[in-house]
Amino acid sequence: DWTMAAFRAQAIEEIRAKVGKAKVICGLSGGVDSSVAAILLHEAVGDQLTCIFVDHGLLRMGEAEEVVGMFRDHYNIPLVHVQAQDMFLDALEGEMDPEVKRKTIGRLFIETFEAEAAKIGGAEFLAQGTLYPDVIESVSFTGGPSVTIKSHHNVGGLPERMNMKLVEPLRELFKDEVRELGRELGLPDRFVGRHPFPGPGLAIRCPGGVTREKLDILRQADAIYLDEIRKAGLYDAIWQAFTVLLPVQTVGVMGDGRTYEFVCALRAVTSVDGMTADFYPYDMEFLGNAATRIINEVRGINRVVYDITSKPPGTIEWE
């Protein structure tokens, strides 16, 4: 594609001009955006780049293996896999406020990047796959007074003081354009087509307090839900789908026993850029099957609901 080929060439020139001979680290999240940013950066500055994949304990099932595997197998980019589960989960303990959760995670990401930058002899730049909608939504809400809706960790959630300069080569792009650029850069289709996944990960899908136990329940439910979506051939028709573990327990009956367990909400939306979205109109049979499987297979969940809120007035994530 001519436009993306031109964008690629220009972005590479700009990165080189900005970075010079300095070292760069790039935080990989497992999503399309940071992967595309990393590959673009690598083309621009080669072995001045080190990628950092932080396992904050808030990833989906099998995610770390998948991302690290893809980068190690397909690209010759140095990749550091940081095991930081305890640091993040301990810091989040007991925290209920969505913005504090986001900012805590953003701060720990930066601390982790700074520590890794020091280990490779100092990196002057931190690269991120920030997109245009991330910039807008962290800054203000269109049409109204300037109000922060959410501090996206790769924009507004970063601490003010940080000893690295940011490189954000995708800052002017929308999601569909990043996917096009990913294809242009030779990323495998199944990776380019991945649903978005937020930097703060499963922490913002556990409204209220995050615990290891809840994350474990959420991870299992999420894997089953995504499996059902793939089996039904719906993955590519949906922009983003995930489960949310509600901080509510309800009474149920299983066999001849009473249960008192958590409620799981299913979310699925269609969207073009994430800035507006419609809930996905599943048929009832699909929903029934997914709910039955989750309740039968996941200990800790005894009720499933479907979120039929569009954006606006809802947001895609619950926090």
Q: Which residue ranges make up the annotated binding site for ATP?
A: 29-35
196 binds ligand XMP (CB under 6 A): yes
Beta bridge partners of 306: 266
Question: What SS3 class is residue 205?
Answer: helix
**In terms of CB distance, is 22 or 84 closer to ligand XMP?**
84
152 binds ligand XMP (CB under 6 A): yes
**In terms of CB distance, is 22 or 139 closer to ligand XMP?**
139
199 binds ligand XMP (CB under 6 A): yes
Q: CA 33: distance to chain centroid?
A: 9
274 binds ligand XMP (CB under 6 A): yes
Listed in sequence order, the residues at least 6 apart from 9 whose beta carbon sits closer than 8 Å to its beta carbon are none
**In terms of CB distance, is 32 or 295 closer to ligand XMP?**
32
Tokens of residue 311, six digits = 């954006």
Q: Which range of residues in 54-62, 75-83, 191-199, 223-231 is near ligand XMP by CB under 6 A?
A: 191-199
Q: Which residue ranges make up the annotated binding site?
A: 29-35
Q: Supply the DSSP string of 144-188, one letter for each residue.
A: SSS--S---TTTTTS-S--SSEEE-TTTT--HHHHHHHHHHTT--
Whether the upstream peptide bond of residue 145 has omega within 30° of 0, thus cis, is no
What residue type is assigned to position 149 of the chain? I
Q: Which of 55, 63, 116, 137 binds ligand XMP (CB under 6 A)?
A: 137
**In terms of CB distance, is 167 or 295 closer to ligand XMP?**
167
Which residues lie near ligand XMP (CB under 6 A)?
137, 150, 152-154, 196, 198-200, 240, 274, 311, 315-317
